[in-house]
Amino acid sequence: MKLVASVEVPATARGFESGLLLDLVAALRQCPEGGLVAVTSSHTDVAENLARWARFTGNTIVRSTTEEGGTRWVVRNGPAPVEPARPIGSRLWLYSNFDCNLACAYCCVRSSPKVERRALDLTLVQQIAGQAREAGVEAVYITGGEPFLRADIDQLAIACAGAAPTTILTNGALFGGKRREALERMPRDRVALQISLDSPTPDRHNLLRGAGTWEKAWTGIRVAREMGFRVRLAATVTTSREEELLGAYFDAEGIDAEDRVIRRIALRGLATDGIALSRADLVPEITVTARGVYWHPVGADDDDFLVTKDVLPLARAIDTVRRAYQAERVHADALAEVFHCA
Ligand code: SF4
C-alpha cells in the first residue's frame, strides 16, 4: 500500500546536485515535525545522497518504493522515535547455521550450499534459552541459512520453545524423512514455521531462488499445516506492484494478517539492489550467531553490525546492544544540531 505523504515533490530525473535537495528542503519547510515528505527521482545518485543527508540532518527515510517515474522515498521530518515500540531484547534471533540448500540471488547473509556452516552450538543455545525469559525475551526466531539442514533442529526448537514462543524461518524444501521426524517432535503450541514464498506464481520465486523451489515451498507449507503447525508466509519483494499482487494472493489464500510478512530486499549480502540499511536505520533486534551478537538479523554476516562477541550472560549482551543504540541516537541528534539543512 502506498504510504501517503503530506507533501509530495513531483517526480523528476534530477539528482541532489541538480536541484532535488532544494526541493526536498522546501517541502520539509511546509511539513510539520514528524510529518512525511515524498520525493521521486530516476537519478542514480539519489539513494546514496539521500541516505547520507538523512543521517547528517537527523531526518528519517521511512520507505523507498519503485514507481513509474523512478524510486519514491518517503522521508519523516525529524528522527525516528527514540523509544522503539517493541523493547530491545524482547525478540531474540538465533542464526542456527549459515549454510543453505538454496543460493538465493538476494540472500542478505550470503548463504548457499558452499558456505561454511558456522553452527550455533546446541549447548550454547540451551544456555541462551535458559537465560532468555529472565532477560526479557518474549519471542525467539531461529533462522539461517536453512535451519533444517541441522540434524538437531528439533533440540534447538524444543530448548527455545521452553523459553518463549519460537518461530523457525525456513524455505520449506526439506520436510521429508528424518527432518519430518524432527518436526514431529516439536511442540505445535510453541513452535511456528515461517516459510518463504516470494510470488503468487512460480516464475519470480524460482528465478530468484532456483528452479522448482516455489513448488517445494508449497509442498512444505502443506506438510507443516497437515502436521498441525502454525504456518506464516514471508515474501521478499522489489516493487509496490509485487507487494500488491502478493497481498491479493495471500488474501485469496486466506492467510491472516499476522501470518504474513512482506518486506523489501535489503541491500546487504548478495543483493545488488534494494534498500540500503545501516545501524542508524534500524532499531536493534538482538541477533546471536556463532561469531557473536549482532545489531539486527539483516546484517548478521556483516562486521558493521557486530556489537559484541560475548553472548553470555544474555542479559548483559542485550544491555550492551541497548546502550550502543542509545549512544548512537545521541550521536545522530548531535550531528543534526550542527548540520541543519532545513
Ligand atoms: S534467502 Fe534464505 S533460503 Fe535463500 S539462500 Fe538465504 S538463507 Fe537460504
Residue 149: the pLDDT is 98
Q: What is the mean pLDDT of the chain?
A: 92
* Cβ-proximal residues to 338 (8 Å cutoff; 6+ apart), any chain: none
* pLDDT, position 54: 85
**Residue to substitute in 102, 116, 268 for testing ligand 1 pocket (most ligand atoms within 8 angstroms of CB):** 102
DSSP state of 266: B
> Is any ligand 1 atom within 6 A of the Cβ of residue 89?
no
The pLDDT tens digits for 267-277 are 999 999 888 89
In this predicted structure, what is the pLDDT of residue 58? 83
C-alpha cell at 206: 524460482
End-to-end CA distance of the chain: 29
Q: Cα–Cα distance between 325 and 318 in angstroms, integer?
A: 11
| Alpha carbon of 249 to ligand 1 centroid (Å) | 22
Ligand 1 contact via 144 beta carbon (within 6 Å):
yes
Indicate which atom in ligand 1 lies nearest the CA of residue 103. 5
Q: What is the pLDDT of residues 108-150, one digit of tens each?
A: 999 999 999 999 999 999 999 999 999 999 999 999 999 999 9
Q: 59 by DSSP, 3-state: which?
A: coil
| Contact (CB, 8 A) for 309 and 320 | no
In this model, does residue 335 exceed pLDDT 80? no
Sheet of strand 7-12, all strands in order from the earlier edge strand to the far edge: 7-12, 36-41, 70-76, 60-67
Read off the pLDDT of each residue in 313-334 and give the average, rounded to a whole number: 89
Atom 7, ligand 1: residue with shortest CA distance: 145
Q: Report percent pLDDT > 70 for the chain.
A: 94
**Core vs surface per residue 50-80: b (16+ CB within 10 A) or e:** bbebbbebbbbbbbbbbbeebbbbbbbbbbb
Long-range pairs for 197-204: beta carbons < 8 A, 24 or more residues apart: 197/221, 197/233, 197/234, 197/235, 198/235, 198/236, 198/237, 199/235, 199/242, 199/245, 199/246, 200/245, 200/246, 200/248, 200/249, 204/242
Q: 187 Cβ partners below 8 Å, 6+ apart?
A: 158, 161
Residue 100 Cβ < 6 Å to ligand 1: yes
b (16+ CB within 10 A) / e for 125-146: bbbbbebbeebbbebbbbbbbb
Q: In degrees rounded to 5, what are phi and psi of residue 73?
A: -105, 135
* Residues 164 and 189: beta-carbon distance below 8 Å: no
Looking at per-residue pLDDT, the higher value among 336 and 219 belongs to: 219
Which residues, 6+ apart, have CB-to-CB distance to 253 below 8 Å? none
- 146 touches ligand 1 (CB under 6 Å): yes
Q: Where are the alpha helices (DSSP H) in 146-231?
A: 153-161, 177-184, 202-209, 213-226
Choosing from 209, 233, 261, 264 the residue with most ligand 1 atoms within 8 A of its CB, the one to mutate for a pocket test is 209
Integer angstrom CA distances of residue 30 from 26, 37, 72, 100, 172: 7, 9, 19, 49, 49
**How far is Cα of residue 87 from the mean position of the Cα atoms in its chain?**
17
For ligand 1, the distance from its centroid to the CA atom of residue 268, given in whole angstroms, is 13
Please state whether beta strands 91-95 and 139-143 pair in parallel, antiparallel, or not at all (unpaired): parallel
Strand partners, 70: 67
Which residue in this structure is represented by grid cell 538476494?
A: 106
How many CB atoms lie under 10 A from the CB of residue 294? 28
Contacts of 247 (CB under 8 A, 6+ apart): 1, 262
| Position 336 pLDDT exceeds 70 | no
| Position 16 confidence tier, pLDDT thresholds 50, 70, 90 | confident
Check pocket membership of 220 for ligand 1, CB cut-off 6 A.
Answer: no
With a 6 A CB cut-off, is 103 part of the ligand 1 pocket? yes
Pocket test for ligand 1, best of 146, 206, 237 (most atoms within 8 A of CB): 146
From 111, 117, 261, 301, the mutation candidate for ligand 1 (largest count of ligand atoms within 8 A of CB) is 111
How many Å lie between the centroid of ligand 1 and the Cα of residue 148?
12
Q: Does ligand 1 lie within 6 Å of residue 195's CB atom?
A: no
Q: Give the mean model confidence (pLDDT) for residues 64-93.
A: 82
**Region 287-313: what's the mean pLDDT?**
98
